[in-house]
Chain A
């Protein structure tokens, strides 16, 4: 057991996932990730570079991915906004890479040291156009390690920029955790490419090598990277196929934790740092005899629609607390599809929810519901 900081766990998870290239730009509260990698990567023969801004950081990451390295950057709100152009470029060019965004209060400079969950929609929709998206989050230091490592695996498997959302508290808090030892630097072998394997579409990522003559472009292109003629349909199909791949692998990709949900009358849906307060609220409420459970989302995108829908059939209502003014509540409502009421509580003042606040909201819902149920003769 070791006392590990959230940002440190991100570093270790990235190394466990095979990271050997980091480009970044300093920003609170993500900076420790970059500071630590500036010490670690040179001693492993990996590359660390501090770029001139966040656009350059993600640009260098994408360049390095095509150069054959496993590459990552980390940032926070203002930097994440700047990176949107290159998140779109990575999606269009099917470039595996990882972006960690430690969320802080916004919009704009906001409060750099205060936590938020205001980037959950931007992580999905921030870049113009349509794309497949894989966005993970975490609620503990151990999660940060696991999710960051997982992000590297999925970035390669699905050829996407995978985004890991942390927040200012998770980045800076320390917990006692047991983490596997950091593996030594990976030696990469040039994988054998089947002859005539197209560089894009549903084929494994193949970085530049002596035997490739790949043209990578953010223009709409077909599987061969060609941009001429009426390739709109073929370009759309590549993106549709990527979305379909995520749908196909839903049960492996969509990770969540069900907590005391089996007999629950009320369900709290929470993610990231807020899930910790929600779990404590479940304890408080169970002690006072209210049957409540928690669905903790660990994969935000693709949104766990099926999981939510199954739950919506059996509970009286859902409560979603978020550190924003109403974001994941939107896909949640869409997934619930009117099967049960969805209640929202949000804050964007840089403070965390207290377990008591969440519990109190459930108590009020429960009292009202009991009143209504008595009138209409429901359970």
Chain B
């Protein structure tokens, strides 16, 4: 397990730093976890493509010294699908926000999962729209405030894990920025997994979510994250009261099903074509 201070610089595009993320934002932790996974797996930066959508999480591709695309809001998985099909040897990593994956791009999210294309989607879920200044997201919990739900949110939130599993993703995990060691562990598993993998990481937004809901600064928000979640593997040890309204963390699915580029290669082969998957 690489610890702080170990060299990740071969993966980083240092000329683009500092990052746009606010002090205390959890996205930097996720970014670092991704870089750690690259190092753990000893991936060749020339064989990685990092793609992002629009929003705070969408800036991730700028900071990796790989081929990278900062695409359009919500549509990043469509670009990733085209890129992966055109060059299946690439390890395609997608950074998306909760707005990207669950609102404007929900349609693309479920279809990428349904196809089971070998792309790793890392969903930075901070429960709010950060880049535009703190508006309600489809991940904002009930009764929470945002600049567009000043009287409290009355819309139920999506559960990313349930959505991804229902849509057919074959690796689905959830953790938080508090769980510093689990982030790279799950991301590495997801990258190695031959199929569509989703790692949802609950991230803190002190600037908007924390402030508008009077939850305090980044350390307070990390504690809050911890208080709102439990490890799925501990379920038998917990009482109902200890779990109600909280989100389980862990790996919820890890299974092998036919992967899209491999299936496409078979289709080509059956009809006389050669496609290199």
CA–CA, A64 and B85, complex, Å = 7
CB-based contact A67/B90 at 8 Å: yes
A86: CB under 8 A from chain B? yes
Q: Mark A16-50, 1 if CB is under 8 A from B, else 0.
A: 00000101000000000000000001111111010
Asked if B86 contacts A64 (CB within 8 A), the reply is yes
Q: Which of A44, A66, A217, A218 contacts B83 (CB 8 A)?
A: A66
CB distance from B239 to the nearest CB of A (A): 42
**What separation, in Å, do the CA atoms of A228 and B20 have in the docked complex?**
10
| Chain A residues whose CB sits within 8 angstroms of the CB of B68 once the complex forms | 213-216
Contact B85 A60 (CB under 8 A): yes
Q: Do A42 and B75 contact each other (CB < 8 Å), given the known contacts A23-B82, A215-B61, A216-B69?
A: no
Q: Across the interface, name the chain B residue whose C-beta is closest to A217.
A: B70
- Residue with the highest number of chain B CB atoms closer than 10 Å, among A21, A51, A67, A212: A67
8 Å CB contact of A211 from B46, B71, B84: B46
In contact, A64 and B83 (Cβ under 8 angstroms): yes
State which of A42, A49, A65, A208 has its C-beta within 8 Å of the C-beta of B268.
Answer: A42
Say whether B82 contacts A21, CB under 8 Å: yes
Q: A52-B108, A208-B90, A227-B62 are in contact. Are A59 and B75 (CB under 8 A)?
A: yes
Interface centre among B16, B81, B82, B87 (most CB of A within 10 A): B82
Contacts of B274 in A (CB 8 A): 45
Interface size classification for chain B: 35 or more
Q: How far is the CA of A51 from the CA of B85 in the complex (A)?
A: 13
Across-interface contacts of B80 in A (CB, < 8 A): 63
Interface residue ranges of B230-277 to A (CB < 8 Å): 264, 267-268, 271-276
CB pair A62 B82 closer than 8 Å: yes
Please tell me which one of the listed residues B45, B108, B111, B273 contacts residue A213 in the complex, with CB atoms under 8 A apart. B45
Interface hits, B17-70 → A, CB 8 Å:
45-47, 49, 51, 61-62, 65-70
**B72 close to chain A: CB less than 8 A:** yes
Bound-state CA distance A237–B86 (Å) is 31
B45 touching A67, Cβ below 8 Å: no
Q: Mark A174-211, 1 if CB is under 8 A from B, else 0.
A: 00000000000100000000000000000000001111
* B interface list, Cβ under 8 A from A: 13, 15-16, 45-47, 49, 51, 61-62, 65-72, 75, 78-87, 90, 107-108, 111, 264, 267-268, 271-276
Sample of 6 A–B contacts (CB below 8 Å): A45-B275, A49-B81, A57-B78, A67-B90, A211-B46, A213-B65
Given A49-B264, A52-B111, A61-B82; 4 other pairs, CB 8 A cutoff? A59-B82, A63-B51, A63-B84, A218-B72
